[in-house]
Structure 1
């Protein structure tokens, strides 16, 4: 079982990767300042690890979907879900609960490229 942030649906952008690497270099005593590393470092890093890492473009998110995901809508969804689970007596039967509503994502919101394993498709 792997444990990558990319496996959980997250990834580091180029900017975040340079920032994290700069913090690590500072903590290891390799740099005097806690500042992000340069693009030159990032491209060299990606070149050295090109067989395992690449810069990928994640799927886009429809702005209507993002706009309508309010705390109230999420609360209503989970309230309705609890009612169904209680009605069908599924509290102790997670093996009978399936998520079947994944219909695709429209390409409106354009997320930044992320660093991810080369053989993986970004979420």
Structure 2
């Protein structure tokens, strides 16, 4: 459904969020990708992506790795340092300014 460039943008987003300490669960990945598909006009809100899409996505992008929910919570807690939180809010401010 997505071309390679579009999927690469999704991968970049997932990696950036993980670097900020907010890794997505698989259903959250599907939701985020579904919203992106709606935004770029290749899907409608009533036709979201499925977990089947996610399985194929992960085969195409092996650098996206799974973490069990307990591991994800640990990673999120570990990334809650002052510097990581400051980077997150700096990025949020840039995004808000960019999109008015």
The structure whose Rg is larger is 1
Higher strand share: 1
Higher helix share: 2
For normalisation by structure 2, the TM-score amounts to 0.49
**Structure with higher RCO (Cα < 8 A, 6+ apart):** 1
